[in-house]
Structure 1
Amino acid sequence: MEKAFTLAVVSEEKKVDYVSYFLKDEVNYWWETARALEEEEVITWDRFKKIFLGKYFLRYMQTQMELKFFELKQEGMTVGEYEKKFTELARFVGDYVDTDEKIAKRFQQGLKPCLRSRVDVFELTTYAEVVQKMMVIEGESDQNLKEKESKKRKFGSNGERSTQGSLSGRNFKKFGYQNQGGP
């Protein structure tokens, strides 16, 4: 509905009327009763959401979603996967993420410690900046890891060049050559 309001440019005063038009069957009957019980003549959009969610989104479920949000950690997820899950759960904890700075701070708190410490030094205050910087840092970390693995394949674990792909001592003998300790 919020998207529809934006698209149709619905004023705050008309949002409840607009939504109530789309309510069907028992939800519509419920709303007529709930509206009659309200003391205020004009019901704001925020009040409607509170009443509606109180009826159709049980407090227990709200609490469960809040817990999932506060327990959310990046752990085995990529930054992109973590950001997607973070965004999905953030809508259930309004007051805790009602400013861009709060969202950014909470997002950082759930990051892997090694990544969090790298982004903390930038003192970023917007969510978009934090996510963007984390994507870059994670990408660089992945690239560094790939380069290290590539070097390990080229060189043995003790740092000497691997003989893989060259003739080993056994192959020298097989072809009639003597290994004299030289290259």
Structure 2
Amino acid sequence: MEKAFTVAVVSEEKKVDYVSYFLKGEANYWWESARALEEEEVITWDRFKKIFLDKYFPSYMQTQMELKFFELKQEGMAVGEYEKKFTELARFVGDCLDTDEKRAKRFQQGLKPWLRSRVAAFELATYAEVV
């Protein structure tokens, strides 16, 4: 939805209206109940995201995904497969990868030992260079 908002130039005030329009079935019933329980008359986009994620992506699941990320190693994967999995799981760790340098270092740490030592010798600074 965030990508759609960017393309359609949706204002912050309209985001919740747009998203709630697309909710179907159980999600729509949940939203109607959740909205009725909210004390504020206008629910912000940030508040919507929080209550939505609390419902559909609870903290224990977020923690599981973080653990999967921190345990990720290249092992039997090709570098491309490892990079794909790394990118997929990286979105769950937030501030841990808030710079390109941190992202590059973490990616490098998960490489096979023989490959990691060869990459380390080049002292690459960016994620793209390490990949």
TM-score range, shorter chain: 0.7 to 0.9
Structure in which a larger fraction of residues adopt helix: 2
Q: What is the percentage of aligned positions where both structures have the same residue?
A: 89
| Residue 17 in structure 1 maps to residue 17 in structure 2 | yes
**Structure 1 residue matching 2:75: 3-state secondary structure:** coil
Where structure 1 has 5 or more consecutive residues not aligned to the other structure, the ranges are: 132-183
- Give the counterpart letter for 1:117 in structure 2: S
Deviations 1:93-148 (CA, angstroms, capped at 9, x unpaired): 223223333222211111112222222244333322221xxxxxxxxxxxxxxxxx
The aligned counterpart of 1:162 is none
Partner residue, 2:104: 104
Please show how residues 37-52 of structure 1 align to structure 2 within 5 Å: 37-52=37-52
SS of 1:123's equivalent in the other structure is coil
Offset from partner CA, 1:3-22 (integer Å, 9 cap, x none): 22232222333222211111
Which digits, 9 at most, give the CA deviation of each residue in 1:9-48, with x for residues without a partner? Answer: 2233322221111112332222233233334444333332
Task: Give 2:87's aligned amino acid.
Answer: T
Deviation at 1:85, TM superposition (A): 0.9
Q: Distance in 1 between matches of 2:69 and 2:36?
A: 35
User: Which 10-residue stretch deviates more, 86-95 or 71-80?
Assistant: 86-95
Taking a change above 3 Å as real, the CA distance of residues 128 and 11 of structure 1, as seen in their structure-2 partners, is farther
Q: Which has the larger radius of gyration?
A: 1
Question: What code does the residue aligned with 1:89 have?
Answer: L
CA RMSD of aligned residues (A): 2.1
Secondary structure at the counterpart of residue 74 of structure 1: coil
Q: Deviations over 1:53-103 (max 9, x none)?
A: 110123332222111111000112111010011111112222322333322
- Bigger relative contact order (CA 8 A; separation at least 6): 2
**Secondary structure, aligned partner of 1:115:** helix
SS class of match (1:60): helix
Q: Distance in 2 between matches of 1:80 and 1:100?
A: 18
Q: 1:106 to 1:5 in 2, by over 3 A?
A: same
Q: What TM-score does the superposition give when structure 1 sets the normalisation length? A: 0.62
Corresponding residue SS for 2:10: coil
Structure 2: stretches of 5+ with no match in the other structure: none
TM-score by length of 2: 0.82
Aligned residues: 131
Output the CA distance in 1 between the equivalents of 2:3 and 2:78.
29
Structure 2: distance between partners of 1:128 and 1:120: 14
Question: Counterparts in 2 of 1:109-148, with a 5 A limit?
Answer: 109-131=109-131
